[in-house]
Amino acid sequence: MSSPVRIDATEWQRRFLDLAPETRREPRYLRHLGEREWAHYLKPPSSYLPYGFRRLRRMRFDGDVRALRLFSFAMEETERLFRAKQEGLPVVALMGDYGAVAPLLGAFPGVVTFYPDFCYFTPFLAESDVLLDRAERLGIGEDTCYVRAAAGAFAARANWPDPDLVVVSTGASCDDLAATAQAAHDLGHPTLFLDIPCRKDPAPWLRVTRFEPADGRPPVEAGLVDRLVAQYREFLARAGEVLGQRSDEVALAASVSRARRMRRTIREIRGHLASAPAAPLPAYEAMLAEFAATHGFGDPDECEAVLAGVRDLVAERAAAGVGVLPPDAARVVWATPPPDPLLFTLLEDAGGRVAGSEYLIASALTLPPDEPDPVVAVARAFLAGSLLGSSAARAKSVVAEVRRANAEGVVISNLFGSSHCGAETPVIRRAVEEECGLPVLSFDVPRPAPGGVASQVKNRVEAFVEALTQRRRTCGRP
C-alpha cells in the first residue's frame, strides 16, 4: 500500500473526474425510496465551492474515496432533508441531545432526523456572517456561542425544510443552545422539550446509589435512569401523536441495535486513530465519523455503510503502517469540537496529529448496554454525556483520552460565550497539567472571516506543535 496523502480541493477534483462511473454513483442516500437521481451524493470538495463553502478551498482532505464518501455524506445533509420531505418522509429536528433521541425515533420508521446545532460549523465552512447576523437580529448575539447560527438558519428556512417536529433537550446542556432552541420554537414549529438531568458526580456532599456503566464512563445516580426512561416513554407517545404514527417497538429495538453497531464501528476507528503509528485519517474526517454517531446523518442505513468503509480504510492503513501524516507527527488530544475545520488543517500542516478527542458527544459514543428494554439502554448510554456532568468529570474524560491516545499535548478550542467552556477550560488544563504533565493550548475560536484563520491563532497552533516537538527531543517520545 502506497503512502496516502492529504490533498486539496483542486487535486480532489482532478482525481474525482477520473473515477469510474460506478464508483461515483454507488453511494446513494435514502436507498429505500428506490432510484432517485438526486440521491447519488459522492462529490469532491470543489463541488461545494460555488454554493458558498469557501473554506474548503483552503483545507486538505483524505485522498481516499471512502473518506470522501463520508465527507460528501455529511455535506449533503441539507439536500437530503429537502428531498426526504419532498418524498413525504417526516423530518425531525433534534437539538441539544446527542445520541439518545435519534435512536429512539427509530420507533417511527421513515423519520429523518437532523441536528440544527451542527449549523455551528456552517459560518466557518462558508466563511460567512450571514447566519450569525440573523441570529443577532433574533436577540442571540455575539455573547452566545456559534451554535446560535442554528437560530439564523431557522429564521430563513433555507438550510432545511420546515421540520414536522423539533425536539429540544435542555437542562444539563448549554444555555446557548437552550436560547437558540427557544428562538426556533418561537418561529412556530411543533416542539417537544426534554429536560436533561445533570449528573452530580463530583459533588463533595452527595450520597446516592450509583452504578458503573460498562464502558468506564463516569458513574451515574441510579434515580436518573428511571426519570429519563419515564421521560423518554412519554416523549415517544407525544412524538407519535405529532407524527401521526404509533411507536413500533420492534423498529425501536432494531434502531438501538443499529446505533450500537455504528458506535462500535466508530470505536474501532477511534482505536486506530489512537494506536496507529501514523495517523490513518485526517482529523476533520475523523471528527465527521464521530459526529455520525449522533444520528447517522439522518440516514443510518447508508451511514453504516459509510462508516464501515472508513473503518476498513483506517484498518488497512494501520496494518500497512502507513498514514496521511508523517509518523513523527506530534500527538494531541483535541477537546471541544472546533467549529472551524481549517484549524485541523493548520495543526496537521504544522506537524501535529489528532490522536484522541473529546468533542462533547460522549453520549453518542457510549454503547447502549445490553438491556431487554431499548429505552433503558438508550437512557443509560445517554447519561454518559459530556455536558451532563461537572467540569471535573469532563476533565477526567480528557485525561483518560490523553492516556488512551498516548498524547503529547492537549488543544482546547474554546467557544467564546458558551456557558460551559469558560468554566471547563481551567479545570481541564489543571487536570492535564497535574495528572499527565502535558502542555495545553487553549484559545477562543475567532469569528469566521474570508481568507483563513486569524494569524494569532495560527501562530499559536504552530508554536504549540513546535513546542511539542521540542519537548519530545528533551523528554523522549511518549
Partner 1 sequence: MREAMTPLERFALLFMDERPDRLITAPFVTTAAAAFAGVSPGACCRDGALLARAQIAAQEALRHDAFFVFSDVAIVAEAMGSVLRFAEDRVPLLDVPVVREARDVDGLPLPGPDRGRFPVYLEAVRILHETRGDRVPVFCLVPAPFTTAAGLRGAEDFLVDTIADPPLAEALVLAAERATVPLLDAIVLAGGLPALVDPLASASVAAPKTYRALALPGTRRLVERLHRLDLDVLLHVCGEITPILEDLAATGADLLSFDRAGVAEVRDAVGDRMRLAGNVSPVTILSRRAEEVLEETRRAIREGMGAPRGFVLSTGCEVPPGSPPENLAAFYRAAAAAGGVP
Partner 2 sequence: MTALAGLRAAADGREGALRAGIARGREVVGLPVPLAPPPEIVEAAGAIPFRLLAAGDADAELRALAALGRDACGTCRGLLGAAMVAHPPVTCLAAGTACDRMRRMLEAFGSTGLPVFTVAVPRVRGISGQRKALAQELRLFAGELSVRTGVPATPERLAAAIRRGNAARRILREADGLRRLVPPRATGTEYFDLVRAHGLLPVEDFLALAAAVPGELAAREPPSPDPVRVLLTGPTLLDGRRDALAILEAGGRAVAVADVTDSGTLASGEDVPEDGDPFLGLATHLLAHPVLAAPLRPSRAFRERFAGTLRASGAEGVLFRGVPFCRPFNSEVPALRLLSTVPFLEIREEGAAASGQTRTRIEAFVEMLLARRLSGGPP
Cell of 280: 490513518
Site string for partner 1, 263-302 (x = CB under 8 A): ----------------------------------------
Looking at the Cβ atoms of 103 and 163, the one nearer to partner 1 is: 163
Question: Judged by CB under 8 A, which of 223, 326, 327, 450 binds partner 1?
Answer: 450
Count of C-beta atoms within a 10 Å radius of residue 250: 9
**Rounded distance, CA 309 to CA 293, Å?**
15
**Rounded distance, CA 385 to CA 363, Å?**
4
**Rounded distance, CA 462 to CA 476, Å?**
20
Looking at the Cβ atoms of 194 and 289, the one nearer to partner 2 is: 194
Is residue 175 within the footprint of partner 2 (CB under 8 A)?
yes
Q: Which partner, partner 1, partner 2, none, binds residue 458 by CB below 5 to 8 Å per kind?
A: none
Looking at the Cβ atoms of 27 and 219, the one nearer to partner 1 is: 27
Cell of 477: 517520545
Is residue 79 within the footprint of partner 1 (CB under 8 A)?
yes
Looking at the Cβ atoms of 153 and 236, the one nearer to partner 1 is: 153
SS3 state of residue 134? helix
Amino acid at 4: P
Sequential DSSP letters for 21-45 = HHHHHS-BSSGGG---GGGB----G
Question: Judged by CB under 8 A, which of 18, 20, 37, 205 binds partner 2?
Answer: 205
Least distance CB 178 / partner 1 (angstroms): 19
Beta bridge partners of 334: 357, 411
Is residue 161 within the footprint of partner 1 (CB under 8 A)?
yes
Is residue 191 within the footprint of partner 1 (CB under 8 A)?
no
Cell of 93: 429536528
**CB 57, CB 125: distance < 8 Å:** no
Question: Judged by CB under 8 A, which of 87, 186, 215, 373 binds partner 2?
Answer: 186
The residues in 370-429 that bind partner 2, with binding defined as CB under 8 A, are 387, 390-392, 414, 416-426
**CB 95, CB 181: distance < 8 Å:** yes
Looking at the Cβ atoms of 49 and 253, the one nearer to partner 1 is: 49
Rg (CA), the chain: 21
Cell of 427: 479545570
Question: Judged by CB under 8 A, which of 31, 110, 155, 427 binds partner 1?
Answer: 155
φ/ψ of residue 355, rounded to 5:
-95, -20
Looking at the Cβ atoms of 321 and 450, the one nearer to partner 1 is: 450
Site string for partner 1, 2-31 (x = CB under 8 A): -------xx--xx-xx------x-------
Q: Using CB atoms within 10 A of its CB, is residue 58 exposed (0-12), middle (13-18) or buried (19+)? A: middle
Is residue 141 within the footprint of partner 1 (CB under 8 A)?
no
**CB 255, CB 232: distance < 8 Å:** no
Is residue 120 within the footprint of partner 1 (CB under 8 A)?
no
Strand extents, DSSP E, 135-202: 165-171, 191-196
Q: How many residues bind partner 2 (CB under 8 A)?
A: 57
Is residue 190 within the footprint of partner 2 (CB under 8 A)?
no
SS3 state of residue 154? helix
Q: Which partner, partner 1, partner 2, none, binds residue 411 by CB below 5 to 8 Å per kind?
A: none
Which secondary structure element, helix H or strand E, spans residue 354, and what is its range? strand 352-358
Looking at the Cβ atoms of 138 and 273, the one nearer to partner 1 is: 138
Looking at the Cβ atoms of 94 and 140, the one nearer to partner 1 is: 140
The residues in 137-166 that bind partner 2, with binding defined as CB under 8 A, are 138-141, 143-144
Query: If you search the block for the grid coordinates 446523518, which residue do you land on?
Result: 297
Alpha helices, H only, 217-358: 222-243, 249-275, 283-295, 300-320, 342-349
The CA-atom distances, in angstroms, between 261 and each of 171, 254, 433 are 29, 10, 35
Least distance CB 79 / partner 1 (angstroms): 5
Contacts with partner 2 by CB under 8 A lie at 138-141, 143-144, 168, 170-176, 178-179, 181-183, 185-186, 191, 193-198, 200, 202-208, 223, 227, 230-231, 234, 387, 390-392, 414, 416-426
Residues binding partner 1 (CB under 8 A): 9-10, 13-14, 16-17, 24, 38, 40-41, 43-44, 46-47, 49-52, 54, 57, 78-79, 82-83, 86, 126-130, 134, 137-138, 152, 155-158, 161, 186-187, 450-451
